[in-house]
Structure 1
Amino acid sequence: MDRTAGTAQAARTTGGPKGETTLAHADAPAGLSPLVPLPGGSFRMGSTEFYPDEAPAHEATVAAFEIEAHPVTNAQFAAFVAATGYVTVAERALDPADYPGVATEDLVPGALVFTPTTGPVDLADSQQWWRWRPGARWDAPHGPGTSVEGREDHPVVQVSFEDAQAYATWAGRSLPTEAEWEYAARGGLDGARFAWGDEHRPDGELLANHWQGSFPHRNTGAQGWVGTSPVGTFPANGYGLVDMTGNVWEWTTSYYTPDHAGRARSAAEVAAARAALTVEIPAYVLTGAAQDGPGEHPDRTSAGSGDAPDPRAAASAEPGSTIPRMVLKGGSHLCAPEYCLRYRPAARSPQAVDTATSHIGFRCVVRPPVAVAPAVAPVSARDLLG
């Protein structure tokens, strides 16, 4: 990929959660989302109030990082495609080896598109409102004849995990871990149900883009928007981040597990892991190894692990499949309280890495390297005595 295309000529500064500023990479492509610096720390991750895979609620710790203020937009993804010629997964023919039993004529480029039903249906059967649409892609999110014209400031959708990773690499950024994403989404409200507090609609105000009406057949629109809304239509959280819940689900680099059991580590254990470091290592490795264990990041391996297959990738796959699933966070415009009360920081959902849909997007993060004291050469008795 041509990393020089669209290069910014000067660094940008953006406001942080407490008025701080952050210096964007001087060689980053122009037009990237502003970064908001977060100090890192410990917080209560997960919940025991709603869905089983959110439990147990536990203490998690993340290192300092910066996160984009809003999801990547159609305009930003278009700039990436124009600069690199990138072809998304939805635009590529499907490999028969990955889909045994599927007719060859059905292995055509396309993606999943939400299609409202004509009336009430059994909410246990999601196949009633999801359709495979040949030709659906990021710039034709609902199939041939549709486009993103006039929706340049909406979050990009129909992007698979690989597509999101490719954009992040081009931008000189990364995708967040689940813990980083949830820490950011909470906006400093430790343990709150929603990104704005515990009340669903304080003073009757709608604070996120989620389904309005009777799912999946009648949607009256959120602030007038049926489907995605322009980023920032709804209020920012305490860190100044918009659309952390609602609008679109967002990819993370965490493999899906049926719950948080076995993944929670105390702040003391995290501190011990940091103290044990003897080489300079990026913050994402520290966070993943200390909190979530090996295999948290599919695009990276821990020091000394080599290129051996990660057992978490296989364990994350849906029964009967070999395709890994990652954690999605944040809920979307399709979440309805009676079906999917997941427009909350603790909520999570599994998604196969090869899948693109009309309600999944992403945002990126930047992590500083962990400062490690330089090695000190041994000192002899002669040196000490002068």
Structure 2
Amino acid sequence: MSECCSPSSSRSGPSGIAMPTRSGDHLVPQVTVPAQTFAMGDAFGDGVRPDGETPVHPVRISSFAIDSTAVTVADFRSFVADSGYRTEAEAFGWSAVFHSALSEGAEIVGSMAGTPWWLGVSGADWAHPGGPSSTALDDHPVVHVSWNDAQAYCTWAGRRLPTEAEWECAARAGHASRRYPWGDELPSPEWPCNIWQGTFPTDNTADDGWVTTAPARSYAPNDYGLYQPIGNVWEWCADWFSPTYYSMSPVDNPPGPSLGAARVIRGGSYLCHDSYCNRYRNAARSSNTPDSSTGNTGFRTASL
């Protein structure tokens, strides 16, 4: 996949580390999404065909609870300390770091095909997001976690990843056809989310106050109480990805395709910019292989 915000690490094979058993305390505050029918998909024509954001179609969702924020570094640290889990980035020995986020002395082991601003960095992982000499901040979303890692956390915490339909329903917060959680326009300079400002990928003016991740509880929440469903970090969803799924999706609680090569990610990240990666929208979707990890992908969980 050649896309600015979610490069595939193209690594083969799982880490081989056993999944933890359920035993942990998931402390992220919850919000309740009421049962409803909503129009899912891109009503503005913003998306590109390979993303499969159309057709707009009715989806009926049962009520569920979802994390108000992405899982933070502190939350993930508790999971690792309690379970002994080792992430896939740690097992593989490297992860994908954006070129301007490299820590001092970081060892580059490769670059991503089609996206040279993404670098494979030895020792980059959830605790060291820019490389071995960097330190993750506890109140920021955890990154450098693969879909498999997110699943391991969910198993430990007695949670699950939201489906793609649940994620979009929660992001829209009961408002039909909005482009963003707050409305249809992106005001400036009062940035309501953490995205790229400047000229991608070389000049980030950081007008929103952040060069990489912002604390998970930043900016105003949407009307359901979700913080930063768009911008900041991409979020893993439960579903396999298919660009044609919307044309055959069931109305009731769609689970996504039964098979696939990549898992859905939603919400965009601090690297999204209109000039290249216009995916910080409610309807925007992308994907990555389930063993891939990057410096701009995290997750939030939903109730079982």
Identify which of structures 1 and 2 has the higher relative contact order when contacts are C-alpha pairs closer than 8 Å and 6+ apart. 2
Match of 1:152 among 122, 134, 138: 138
Paired residue for 1:84? 83
Q: Deviations over 1:27-61 (max 9, x none)?
A: x51x6101111112110111151122211111111
Say if 1:189 and 1:196, in contact at 8 Å, map to a contact too.
no
Could you state the TM-score of these two structures normalised by the residue count of structure 2? 0.84
CA distance in 1, matches of 2:99, 2:185: 31
Structure 1 alignment gaps of length 5 or more: 5-27, 94-108, 118-124, 271-286, 296-311, 314-323, 368-386
> Which of structures 1 and 2 has the bigger CA Rg?
1
Match of 2:238 among 229, 234, 253: 253
The Cα of 1:178 is off from its aligned counterpart by 0.2
Match of 1:242 among 221, 227, 231: 227
Say if 1:251 and 1:328, in contact at 8 Å, map to a contact too.
yes
Which amino acid is 2:60 matched to? T
Structure 2 alignment gaps of length 5 or more: 1-19, 102-112
Q: Deviations over 1:304-344 (max 9, x none)?
A: xxxxxxxx22xxxxxxxxxx201100000000111111111
Paired residue for 1:47? 42
CA distance in 2, matches of 1:116, 1:225: 13
Paired residue for 2:99? 115
Percent of aligned positions that are identical: 43
Confirm or deny that 1:221 pairs with 2:217. no
The Cα of 1:86 is off from its aligned counterpart by 0.3
The Cα of 1:349 is off from its aligned counterpart by 0.6
Paired residue for 1:176? 162
Say if 2:233 and 2:267, in contact at 8 Å, map to a contact too.
yes
The Cα of 1:116 is off from its aligned counterpart by 3.8
Q: Deviations over 1:210-267 (max 9, x none)?
A: 001110011121532110000121110010110100000000011111244433334x
Paired residue for 1:192? 178
Say if 2:193 and 2:208, in contact at 8 Å, map to a contact too.
no
Match of 2:148 among 162, 170, 173: 162
CA distance in 2, matches of 1:137, 1:204: 33
Q: Deviations over 1:181-209 (max 9, x none)?
A: 000001111111111111121x7521110
Confirm or deny that 1:351 pairs with 2:288. yes
Which amino acid is 1:46 matched to? G
The Cα of 1:126 is off from its aligned counterpart by 4.2
Equivalent residue of 1:365, what SS?
coil
Rate the CA distance shift 1:59–1:222 in 2: closer, same or farther, 3 A.
Answer: farther
CA distance in 2, matches of 1:223, 1:128: 25
CA distance in 2, matches of 1:259, 1:249: 21
Could you state the TM-score of these two structures normalised by the residue count of structure 1? 0.67
Which amino acid is 2:133 matched to? G
Which amino acid is 1:39 matched to? P
CA distance in 2, matches of 1:260, 1:345: 17
Aligned pairs, number: 270
